[in-house]
């Protein structure tokens, strides 16, 4: 059922849930969670695993995408830490976290989770401990550094655990699975990868895919550069946004990796969303450059 992996002395990660890679740090004063399983039944099981190691002190979200925040509800009473922009996004996403459409998806795809959905014991749990640039939590004898690193999303946060020589990047890193650029600022993302590379870590826990190390960051950056280059080319050929989205692209040559677990239904629509986002950003950047 689960494949929890110990990635450093006190850090545990689950890699094979449907959704992101949630993890936790164990300290002598309790547990700090990073992100949550999106499927209700996985989230309650994950909570049982975590509390075996002590009371849960904090839950930190790395980004506002549903696969990272939907499970917050199943940690009632646990203070959630996140970037100020993440709180806004959580509240905007409430229909997707508590709405009828999501319930219908669970009925179809995950019947074991339905009884937990919108259960009165599990109200929405948005971030309340907020920060702009950086927030350091002291838990037991561990420093937990939450560092704003916009890229994949604008509130994107890296959780850096110096004593563990580990960092959770959320989806600023997709290890050997397809990179989602549907709303990213790709240039900020490249800067974020540089900053992650400067952290003193042996282990990087990506948002999706196996744990890796800093040697993968160059490849992740190249995938983003490939996408930027491909869309710059479409823009420079004068294609409209809609034509650019329809234009056949050799995506395999930009990003060689398959889409992550159970996401294949999104594969083609993701390409279109990546192109649409990048088209607008490339155009805006060109307009800015011209205005200077
Ligand atoms: Zn994700």
Is residue 68 within 8 Å of residue 61, measured between CB atoms?
yes
Ligand 1 centre distance from Cα of residue 239 (Å): 30
List the Cα angle 145/69/50 in 5-degree steps.
65
Give the pLDDT score at 4.
86
| Domain identity same for 177 and 228 | no
Pick from 205, 221, 237: which residue ends a domain? 221
Q: Verify that 116 and 177 share a domain, yes or no.
A: yes
Shared-domain flag, residues 200 and 276: no
pLDDT of residue 268: 81
209 and 228 in one domain? no
Residues 79 and 44 both lie in one domain: yes
Centre of ligand 1 to C-alpha 60, Å, is 14
Residues 89 and 206 in one domain: yes
Which of these three, 196, 221, 246, is where a domain ends? 221
CA of residue 290 to ligand 1 center, whole Å: 35
Span from the CA of 156 to the centroid of ligand 1 (angstroms): 11
User: Are residues 157 and 253 both part of a single domain?
Assistant: no
Q: Alpha helix (H) ranges present in the chain?
A: 40-51, 66-69, 84-92, 94-98, 100-109, 186-198, 217-236, 241-246, 251-254, 267-291
10-residue mean pLDDT profile of the chain (292 residues): values are 83 94 98 97 97 98 97 98 98 93 95 96 97 98 98 98 98 97 98 98 97 98 98 97 96 94 81 97 93 76
Residues 126 and 247 both lie in one domain: no
Domain co-membership, 52 together with 77: yes
Q: How far is the CA of 248 from the centre of ligand 1 (A)?
A: 26
Output the CA 101–ligand 1 centroid distance in Å: 20
Q: 154 with 19, same domain?
A: yes
Using an 8 Å Cβ cutoff, are 80 and 61 in contact? yes
pLDDT computed for residue 42 by the predictor = 97
Considering the domain architecture, whether residues 85 and 116 belong to the same structural domain is answered as yes
We report the CATH number of the domain holding residue 172 as: 3.60.15.10
Task: Characterise 170 by phi-psi region: left (phi > 0), alpha (psi -120 to 50), beta (else).
Answer: left
Q: In terms of residue numbers, what domain contains 177?
A: 5-221
One domain for residues 256 and 163: no
The count of structural domains within the chain is 2
122 conformational bin, left if phi > 0, alpha if psi -120 to 50, beta if neither? beta
Residue 147 CA, ligand 1 centroid: distance in Å: 18
How far, in Å, is the centroid of ligand 1 from the Cα of 187? Answer: 19
pLDDT of residue 3: 66
pTM: 0.96
291 CA distance to ligand 1 middle (Å):
35
Instruction: Output the CA 63–ligand 1 centroid distance in Å.
Output: 8
Of 221, 252, 268, which closes a domain? 221
């Amino acid at each position: 059922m689960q494949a929890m992996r110990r990635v450093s002395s006190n850090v545990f990660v689950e890699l094979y849930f449907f959704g992101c890679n949630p993890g936790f740090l164990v300290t002598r004063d309790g547990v700090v969670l990073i992100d949550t399983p999106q499927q209700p039944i996985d989230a309650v099981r994950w909570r049982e695993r975590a509390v075996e190691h002590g009371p849960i002190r904090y839950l930190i979200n790395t980004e506002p995408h549903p696969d990272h925040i939907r499970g917050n509800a199943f940690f009632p009473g646990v203070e959630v830490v996140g970037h100020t922009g993440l709180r806004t996004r959580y509240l905007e996403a409430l229909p997707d976290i508590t709405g009828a459409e999501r319930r219908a998806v669970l009925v179809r795809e995950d019947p074991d989770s339905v009884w937990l959905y919108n259960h009165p014991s599990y109200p929405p749990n948005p971030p309340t401990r907020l920060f702009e640039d950086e927030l350091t939590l002291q838990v037991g004898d561990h420093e937990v550094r939450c560092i704003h690193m916009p890229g994949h999303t604008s509130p994107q946060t890296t959780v850096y655990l110096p004593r563990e020589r580990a960092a959770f990047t959320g989806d600023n890193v997709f290890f050997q699975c397809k990179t989602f650029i549907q709303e990213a600022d790709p240039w900020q993302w490249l800067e974020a990868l540089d900053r992650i590379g400067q952290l003193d870590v042996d282990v990087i826990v990506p948002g999706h895919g196996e744990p890796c190390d800093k040697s993968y960051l160059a490849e992740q950056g190249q995938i983003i550069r490939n996408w930027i280059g491909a869309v710059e080319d479409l823009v420079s050929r004068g294609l409209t946004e809609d034509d650019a989205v329809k234009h056949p692209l050799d995506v395999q040559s930009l990003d060689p990796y398959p889409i992550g677990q159970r996401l294949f239904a999104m594969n083609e629509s993701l390409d279109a969303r990546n192109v649409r986002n990048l088209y607008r950003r490339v155009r805006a950047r060109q307009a800015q450059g011209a205005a200077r």
